[in-house]
Amino acid sequence: DIDMHPITRAYLYASSRAEHNIQIYKWIKEGKIVLCDRHMLSSLIYNKNPEKKYSVYLINSYANNILLDHNIDMNYILLDIDKENFEKRIKTREEINHLDLETKENFEKRRKMYLKTGKYFSAKIIDSNGTINETHNKIMKEIKSIIEK
């Protein structure tokens, strides 16, 4: 992880998001259905800090406007898992990062921010404390209901 100022990191994520959204828009124009892992909500949560004097939401809104300006319907699915089940899952990974090792207190703070932000964006919140297969089935059910709209 490169040491850099939080504003720099927020702008880098937003610029990457903008490039990604340009490609998403092209795919949608081609009639494709696009699913993204970690999007706007992740940028808001992982850059959120009350002491920061800049708006991560504002920085990322320019990237999101690439889709919103074209009336692209964005649906959010948020996977909710508790710390105990999260720790069981990361033990099966080949690689872990610094966010995987955060304290229970920090994990719960971030989880609460995700849930609050997800509700603001009308995200469908899925309980992911079951098996990976159970969670997969819940996700697929929600995706099918979105597509069938």
pTM of the predicted protein model: 0.75
How is 47-106 classified by DSSP, letter by letter? T--TT-SS-HHHHHHHHHHHHHTTT-----EEEE--HHHHHHHHTT-S---GGGG--HHH
Q: Tell me the per-residue pLDDT of 80-92, one tens digit each, with 9 for 90 and over.
A: 999 999 988 888 8
Q: Per the structure block, which two tokens stand in for 9?
A: 């990191």
Q: Tell me the per-residue pLDDT of 45-82, one tens digit each, with 9 for 90 and over.
A: 766 554 554 577 777 777 777 877 888 878 889 999 99
